[in-house]
Amino acid sequence: MTVSAQLDKLDAESVTIEERSPFQIVLRRFVRHRLAMVSLAVMVLIFIVTILAPYITSFKVDELNVNKYFVPFGTVDEATGRVHYLGTDNIGRDYFSRLIYAGRISLTVALLSVLISETIGILVGSVSGFYGGWVDAVLMRFVEFMLTIPTLPLLLIISSMLLRNEDLIPIPDSVLNFVGKLMLLGPRDARNAVLIVIVLAGFGWLSSAQLMRGTVLSLREQTFVEASRSLGATNIWIILKHMIPNAMAPIIVDASLGLAGYVVAEAALAFLGFGIQDPVPTWGNMLSATQTYMFDKPWLPLLPGIPIFVCSLAFNYIGDGLRDALDPRLKL
């Protein structure tokens, strides 16, 4: 029997088509990206370890062990029986505990910076692209001007000014308490963390604003916008209800890729002495503290350097997987 004859015998009830929601399609594409899935598993593990830092570590981050500087890996504290899995630093503090707490602070700073910067970029870009005219001209010329300025020197100058002058930007106590509980910091250290987030997010929204504007420009001419207007919808309602949700795919990719940049930027500021400072541990200031001893102990910079490298690489692979999954031009 030929194939055509077999197809003729099939009735409508025997032929079923599996329907998938857009979320299922994106999820299926993302799961097929093996490097993205491995990176996601690595980042989930790192986040779990940093969240459970008070229960995993047996030493406090500022606990000193007199005359036990740079002890080898796996050294057991004779008095308490606790183990220094990664040894101690130059003043006898447990390196493993500080590394985990540093990950909690560095990753939280990166996440908060991404959330704030992407939110600002979404609002500015959607308003600029939707209204056009002089609104678009003013906003985009400002964005282009800011993008022409070298970012790192400006970050160093502004972070130095903010960290030295506590009254320059008043921060509500509720925000300090929230950040302090999130990062396990005191009020003063929480204020420094908030200022670093403000500095990073203050320059991180520029590219996302341009990306959102370009997407909204292509959407505002669609027929559903005219249909919404004919039903009496206001411009604000159209932006919030239709423009932003339909333009979120590239923003999600930009946010995932931006996480890697914020991890490196926070580490760079702390490494140069303009970020969160010791004794509060971050991967950046831990890396900075190894400069004096790296020639005698060349493995020392690798302890904070490897987590920075792993997180940056993982975020980039996750962003790459999301970009492929959210691209409507790709086939299933």
3 state DSSP class of 141: helix
- Reply yes or no on whether the pLDDT at 177 is more than 70: yes
Q: Determine the average pLDDT of the residues in 120-145.
A: 90
Q: What is the pLDDT of residue 332?
A: 47
Q: What is the pLDDT of residue 9?
A: 54
Q: What's the DSSP call for residue 76? A: E
Q: Determine the average pLDDT of the residues in 281-297.
A: 86
Residue in the structure block whose two tokens are 């994106």: 26
pLDDT in tens, 150-171: 877 777 777 777 777 767 778 8
Q: Determine the average pLDDT of the residues in 275-291.
A: 85
Task: State yes or no: cis peptide before 279, omega within 30 of 0.
Answer: yes
Paired strand residues for 75: 84
Quote the percentage of the chain above a pLDDT of 90.
Answer: 20
pLDDT in tens, 44-63: 999 999 999 888 888 888 88
Question: Where is 254: in which H helix or E strand?
Answer: helix 248-271
Task: State yes or no: cis peptide before 153, omega within 30 of 0.
Answer: no
Q: What is the pLDDT of residue 322?
A: 86
Ranges 4-18, 196-210, 290-304, 308-322: which has the least confidence: 4-18
- Reply yes or no on whether the pLDDT at 120 is more than 90: yes
Q: Which residues of 246-258 are buried (b: 16+ CB within 10 A; e: fewer)?
A: ebbbbbbbbbbbb
Please tell me the number of Cα atoms within 13 Å of 107 on its side-chain side: 25
CATH of segment(s) 22-58+102-326: 1.10.3720.10
* Residue 18 pLDDT grade (very low, low, confident, very high; cuts 50, 70, 90): low
pLDDT in tens, 231-241: 888 888 888 88
3 state DSSP class of 94: strand
Q: Determine the average pLDDT of the residues in 288-296.
A: 85
pLDDT in tens, 83-119: 888 888 888 888 899 999 999 999 999 999 999 999 9
Q: Determine the average pLDDT of the residues in 283-288.
A: 88
- Reply yes or no on whether the pLDDT at 134 is more than 80: yes
